[in-house]
Amino acid sequence: MAKRIIISGGGTGGHIFPAIAIANALKRIDPSTEILFVGALGRMEMERIPAAGYTIVGLDIRGFQRKSLLKNLALPFQVISSLMKARSVIRKFKPDAAVGVGGYASGPLLYMAGMMKVPYLIQEQNSYAGITNKWLGKNAKKICVAFSGMSQFFPADKILITGNPIRKEAVDIAGKREEGLSSFGLSLEKKTILVTGGSLGAGTLNACMLKGLDRFIEEDIQLIWQTGKYYYKSILASVGDKPHVNVCIVEFLDHMDLAYAAADVIISRAGAGTIAELYVVEKPVILVPSPNVAEDHQTKNALALTNENAAIMITDIKASEELINAAISLVKDKQRCTMMSEQIGHMALPNADEVIAKEVLLIAG
């Protein structure tokens, strides 16, 4: 009999891509598996999940707004409404198990799943668990994690180190360097730095690139600069869409494999999903953790790599002064690049999606 699985969460690509990877793995293991996604209305999962071929239901829920207390006045009502909607979805779909990948919708859905005796699994992506997942972890059947030392947050007997699910197509870079550089209109003969702040973009990384653009050009270093949708138009207005033959500016990277393949060095935020991909592509990386995340978990993610000499970390507040010099120095240091590539590769767990999917089917009975 076909299993019925609900996957909840989203908000950013870092939550959505692992969720889709788990769903795809479930379908590979048993094509008859029925999957329903639950996300937050107005968030990017409401577009990305249907585009991946799955059905999604939206909850009217948002997170706590630290910058505007007035915006939180409706939050209690949204939580109650989302719990009622989650209960209705579970009653209608009748899942055998539920999965939470993080994001606003995971909390109400998993809480109600527990109340309705539906077994659930948490996929904790970061090295520092958030408040909601710590609370939900008490009743979870299994908690799949990407970093060691997670027993400080969850019952040790429920933890399974799986790594984070990745987009397999994004890390399939073997033999694609020439194709990658050609796709961005760049030369095979020059060193190339990839800058990516995620699908929405990273203000600090973009500001640093604006400030250091002339330095890269002077050093004859190529730049693939993914701005994110929030910043793309303002950056084009500032420097144009092709400020130099060595510079390629894009809003979003549709073919991440080609960008990874083209890069000699990668500059990135330290989201857990991105780090999981960086493990597999084995390129030297500079991480600039975002300070605008709960419990500063990106810094803790980055430290897990720097403690193994697998990455360089520069704090957000120091990036303006240090990032450009560090990137230019690293891309010119062949020996250090080789060492960092080897170290980060040792940390890879490339089959997380299938390991997690099998655990989901186990708890589904």
Q: What pLDDT digit, counting tens, does each position of 90-101 carry? A: 999 999 999 999
Q: What is the mean pLDDT of the chain?
A: 92
pLDDT tens track for 130-176: 788 899 999 999 999 998 889 999 999 999 999 999 888 999 999 99
Interstrand relation of 55-59 and 142-145 (parallel, antiparallel or unpaired): unpaired
Q: Which of 98, 101, 104 is nearest to 139 (CA)?
A: 98
Do 160 and 173 share a structural domain? no
Do 186 and 158 share a structural domain? no
Instruction: Provide the domain limits for residue 104.
Output: 4-166+350-363
Do 265 and 146 share a structural domain? no
Whether residue 106 has pLDDT greater than 80: yes
SS3 assignment, position 317 = helix
Ligand-binding site membership of 126 (annotated): yes
Do 133 and 187 share a structural domain? no
Ligand-binding site membership of 14 (annotated): yes
Do 181 and 154 share a structural domain? no
Do 234 and 159 share a structural domain? no
Three-state secondary structure string covering 70-103: HHHCCHHHHHHHHHHHHHHHHHHHCCCEEEECCC
Do 357 and 282 share a structural domain? no
Any idea of the CA torsion for 167, 173, 177, 183, to the nearest 10 degrees? -30
Ligand-binding site membership of 167 (annotated): yes
Burial 123-139 (b: 16+ CB within 10 A, else e): bbbbbbbbebbbebbee
Q: Domain total for the chain? A: 2
Do 160 and 37 share a structural domain? yes
Ligand-binding site membership of 123 (annotated): no
Q: Which helix (H) or strand (E) holds 361?
A: helix 352-363
Do 179 and 158 share a structural domain? no
The pTM (predicted TM-score) of the whole model is 0.83
Q: How far apart are CA 243 and CA 155, in angstroms?
A: 53
For residue 218, what are the CA distances in angstroms to 249, 316, 324?
A: 18, 25, 12
CATH number at residue 72: 3.40.50.2000
Ligand-binding site membership of 199 (annotated): yes
Give the confidence band of 257 by pLDDT, cuts at 50, 70, 90.
very high
Tokens, residue 72 = 């939180």
Average pLDDT on 65-81 reads: 61
Nearest 5°: the CA angle 252, 253, 254 is 105
Residue 286, strand partner residues: 267, 312
Do 219 and 124 share a structural domain? no
Q: How far apart are CA 58 and CA 71, in angstroms?
A: 20
* Locus of tokens 């999962």: 45
Do 186 and 132 share a structural domain? no
Do 173 and 162 share a structural domain? no
Q: Which of 22, 12, 5, 6 is nearest to 47 (CA)?
A: 12
